[in-house]
Amino acid sequence: MNDHHMTDPGRTIEMDLGADGHTDRFLKIVNHVSRQNISMCWHCWTCGGGCPFSQHMDLLPNQVIRLIQMGRGEDALRCNTIWLCVGCHTCSSQCPNSIDVAAVMDALRQLAIRDGITAPEMDIFRFHKYIYESIERHGRLNKLAAMVQFKVGSGRLFSDLQSGLKMITRGKLEILPQKVADRDELNRIFTHYDRRRRSFDAHE
């Protein structure tokens, strides 16, 4: 079991109460990107209770939200929680305040990447990166290419080799990528979000 008290966000409190408005600013960005209102969270811990990965997380999902409420955005971006979350919505479907916690985690990942914060879970980070790039290239996911890149990138080329081969021989990984025909439209989507990456509007 994880000693959650060890990771109580209150542990090293040096609260920036946001004299410069900073506290609020990060919270607003998160709310905007996720289209949620995390000020509503009253820390009932329901989300963490159902989360299938909570025992591996250094902060429970509501503790991440708490950090943001306290203006400690950077700490929220450094935890492994946001990377371990798979977006299964187990939490979101039970939240008494109708907060889509999974969407909050999505927003935090985007912000962590934007701020160049090293992910404490590099393999998961790489996984997302290769899948993202595969879709940026083709518009659809080519699992084989993304998996090979992942294996090379994570230096785990030979781990899991047997299941990988089994998947290829059983036709569970496709060799040839499928592609979207209207490349221009696809490019417009990706360019739009790339161009605005660094402004507040980036999060539209």
Partner 1 sequence: MRMNSIDLAYYPGCTLSSTAREIDEALHQVCNRLDINLSALPDWNCCGSSSIHAVRPQLAVSLAARNLFQAQSMGRDLMVMCAGCANRLRVASNQLRSDDTSRRVNREILGGTLDQDLRVHHLMDLLPGRLEEKPYRDTLQKPLTGLRYVPYYGCLLAAPPELKNYPTLHGSMESVMAWLGADALKWGYQAKCCGAFLSVARPDIVAPMVTDIMDKAISAGAECVITACAMCQLNLELRSPAGKRLPVFSIVELMAYGMGSADLPRWFKKHLIDPLPLFKSKQFAI
Residues that bind partner 1 (CB under 8 A): 33-35, 52-53, 56, 84, 86-90, 92-93, 95, 98-100, 102-103, 106-107, 109-110, 113, 121, 123-124, 126-129, 131-132, 135, 139-143, 147, 150, 154, 160, 163, 166-167, 170-174, 178, 180-182, 185-186, 188-190, 192-193, 203-204
134 binds ligand SF4 (CB under 6 A): no
76, 110 contact by CB (below 8 A) = no
* Helix residue spans in the chain (DSSP H): 22-34, 46-50, 61-69, 73-78, 81-84, 101-114, 122-138, 143-153, 161-169, 183-195
- Cα dist. 10→2, 92, 112, 182 in Å? 17, 24, 22, 51
7 binds ligand SF4 (CB under 6 A): no
53 binds ligand SF4 (CB under 6 A): yes
User: Nearer Cβ to partner 1, position 8 or 113?
Assistant: 113
User: Nearer Cβ to ligand SF4, position 15 or 86?
Assistant: 86
User: Nearer Cβ to partner 1, position 70 or 81?
Assistant: 81
User: Nearer Cβ to partner 1, position 18 or 87?
Assistant: 87
Measured between alpha carbons, how far is 195 from 204 in angstroms, rounded to an integer? 12
Measured between alpha carbons, how far is 76 from 61 in angstroms, rounded to an integer? 10
112 binds ligand SF4 (CB under 6 A): no
Measured between alpha carbons, how far is 173 from 186 in angstroms, rounded to an integer? 24
35 binds ligand SF4 (CB under 6 A): no
Residue in 102, 119, 146, 147 binding ligand SF4, rule: CB under 6 A: 102
Q: Which residues, 6 or more positions from 126, have their beta carbon under 8 angstroms from its beta carbon? A: 150, 153, 154
Supply the minimum distance, in Å, between the C-beta of residue 190 and ligand SF4.
25
Supply the minimum distance, in Å, between the C-beta of residue 36 and ligand SF4.
9
DSSP string, 71-119: T-HHHHHHSSHHHH-----TTTTT-TT---HHHHHHHHHHHHHHTTPPP
- Positions that interact with ligand SF4 (CB under 6 A): 41-47, 50-51, 53, 61-62, 65, 85-91, 95-97, 99, 101-102, 105
